[in-house]
Structure 1
Amino acid sequence: MKGPRGGLTAPGQVLPIQRGAPPRLGQGFSVQSLDSVSVVLVSYDSGAVIGRAVASVPREAEIIIVDNASPEGTGFMDGLARPATLLPMARNMGFGTACNAGARAARGRHVFFLNPDAVLEEGALTTLLATAGRYGPGLLMPSIVGENGRLMRKEGSIFQPVPRGRRLKEQEIAGDYCTRFVHGAAFLVERDLFLEMGGFDERIFLYHEDDDLALRAEARHLPIIVVPEARVRHGGGKSSAPSLKRTFAINRLKKHSELYLRRKYGRPIAFLRDAARLGGGCLLAALTLDRHRFMIRAGKLAGLLDERGAP
């Protein structure tokens, strides 16, 4: 369905959320075969789940696994159901840097980034390629479904949040539509376009690199298109073994990334308000004996204090 400016819409709702030119239909873009796709997965102690992700990729597509110096090693490669190219990093360089390395090594015209704890449903990659052929350059996402069967969707980047109650419900979606956020767990993009954009910002170690990519795509008037008929099941946080220590470290890094983006895009940092909110969250989690929630809040508070103490 097309809106007044030619953009993609959901039933009964026009989504004019990409500025500038809408997706362009049929301007000489042909549907590519699956051997034009390189699937890039980034591994860090992901051996317990990555085999399922690899097995879900059609055999025609190239697979590149970038291992971020996993402490557990790369023995998982021996048990994969199909051939894959291993690209080992000398040390853990972070998600975005590893993705960029995989994209540079890829041979396909298109790159599909896939988390190691995610699984492609049948026909998903073919559907995404057909959509790319219809609309031309842009970033294309499948529907990402969590373990509970619900859609994992944001609709807006870190600076353009859409409240949960205002997000489209699954029954309201009919056909492809534009959004303002690209989920780093699974999306398709032309390799040359991704590299010409600079790939992911390598100054971001972990988290919010996809927010940054979405903001840069919007600035370039590139559409971010969700293709509901293509589906990916995502484990959500299961690409590495869970632990309270790791929860703390991840959330500390997540806060570092948020603060970096605020500086990059000239957004204010409300240090005292944020510190009070996170400190209160730590206290509440301690009183309710919720250790996981405590580590989340404490990690973010530590990241905020790191910023305060930086020269």
Structure 2
Amino acid sequence: MSAAAVTAIVVSYDSAQVLPACLSALAAEGIGAIVVDNASGDASAEIAARYGARVLRSARNEGYGRANNLGARAAATPFILIVNPDLEIQPGAVAALLAAAEAYPDAAAFAPRLIEPSGRVFLQPRSLLSPDHLNRARRIVLPEGDACLPFLSGACLLLRREVFLALGGFDPAIFLFYEDDDLCRRLREAGHALVHVHGAEARHGRGQSSAPSPQRRFTARWHLAWSQCHVARKWGLPPPGLGKVVENLAKAIGYGLLLNRDKMHAHAGSALGALAGRAGRSALARQGLSEKPLL
């Protein structure tokens, strides 16, 4: 298969600083890109167009999974490549992912080795949605070749578009976090394998997609805690304990007294997001979004 079989989907939100490297790396591999811009306040959309991407502009920040669903629906190729804007695909990686797709027809998702700025290989062998025996603490052993894994990171993920659409894409109730864990669980439940491809590599900036601020830390931690409650309920698992909520509230108060706004906002977001999730409140309503799926 050639690169013409793939469309990259890149969701941007104030990602102007990292988009040029991301889109340049995709173009070097011959991959066309759709950039779904989540109402950025910077020049993300203009930069994406300048680098040859097709740009879909959202009137509001729709969140990560929902925006990727929009991009997947707009694509017309048999494969889509989910790519974070702070990720640079390395030479030959897409060809290796497509070769794996041909070699493993029962698999629906394929991920490259993700290299962090420190040089560490990021691997996600455990998850809230894993069976207990897979979540026991132990040293992470990196695969020495292609390997089936229970979960793959959504930072860079080649997907069979038809399968992705048939499953409804990423869970549209989630604004941010755990979209990839939930998708991987649904893919496995539907009988599809997930393959970590040793011969493909991508460089991931981790957290460099948009500039940090105390309010963004609050929002991110709110959604992380909310999404943990949501996926736990969805899959019949116990929600995170109230003890953690109390701990985060206490830390928020403590850091507030110390005038550490960043950590105060982070812990307050974790506590309030967990409380909202346990109460069954909607993450989309918090963001002023419609509950109607975008896929």
Residue 46 of structure 2 is aligned with which of 75, 78, 83?
75
> How far apart are residue 282 of structure 1 and its match?
3.8
What is the percent sequence identity of the aligned residues? 34
1:82-101 alignment, distance < 5 Å = 83-101=52-70
Q: 1:309 to 1:157 in 2, by over 3 A?
A: closer
Deviates more, 1:184-193 or 1:297-306: 297-306
Q: 1:227 to 1:288 in 2, by over 3 A?
A: farther
1:62 and 2:32 correspond: yes
CA contact (8 A) 1:156 1:179 kept: no
User: 1:40 maps to which residue?
Assistant: 9
1:176 and 2:146 correspond: yes
Question: Alpha-carbon deviations, 1:155-211, whole Å to 9, x = none?
Answer: 12322264564311x4xx321111111211001011111111111011101110001
1:170-209 alignment, distance < 5 Å = 170=142, 173-209=143-179
Residue 167 of structure 1 is aligned with which of 140, 143, 147?
140
Amino acid at match of 1:76: I
Secondary structure of 1:56's counterpart equals helix
How many residue pairs match? The answer is 275
> How far apart are residue 108 of structure 1 and its match?
1.4
> How far apart are residue 299 of structure 1 and its match?
1.1
Question: Alpha-carbon deviations, 1:67-105, whole Å to 9, x = none?
Answer: 11112252223542xx21111112211111110111111
Question: Alpha-carbon deviations, 1:223-251, whole Å to 9, x = none?
Answer: 11101221111111111111121111111
Q: 1:284 to 1:127 in 2, by over 3 A?
A: farther
Q: Distance in 2 between matches of 1:309 and 1:138?
A: 35
Question: Alpha-carbon deviations, 1:123-158, whole Å to 9, x = none?
Answer: 100111011110113210000111111011121232
TM-score (norm 1): 0.82
Question: Alpha-carbon deviations, 1:250-274, whole Å to 9, x = none?
Answer: 1101111111112211222254222
> How far apart are residue 280 of structure 1 and its match?
4.7
1:138 and 2:111 correspond: no
Q: Distance in 1 between matches of 2:200 and 2:280?
A: 44
User: 1:109 maps to which residue?
Assistant: 78
Residue 201 of structure 2 is aligned with which of 231, 234, 242?
231
User: 1:246 maps to which residue?
Assistant: 216
1:264 and 2:244 correspond: no
CA contact (8 A) 1:111 1:189 kept: yes
Amino acid at match of 2:155: A
CA contact (8 A) 1:154 1:162 kept: no
> How far apart are residue 290 of structure 1 and its match?
6.0
TM-score (norm 2): 0.86
User: 2:97 maps to which residue?
Assistant: 128
CA contact (8 A) 2:19 2:86 kept: yes
Q: Distance in 2 between matches of 1:186 and 1:59?
A: 15
CA contact (8 A) 1:271 1:304 kept: no
CA contact (8 A) 2:6 2:79 kept: yes
Amino acid at match of 1:167: I
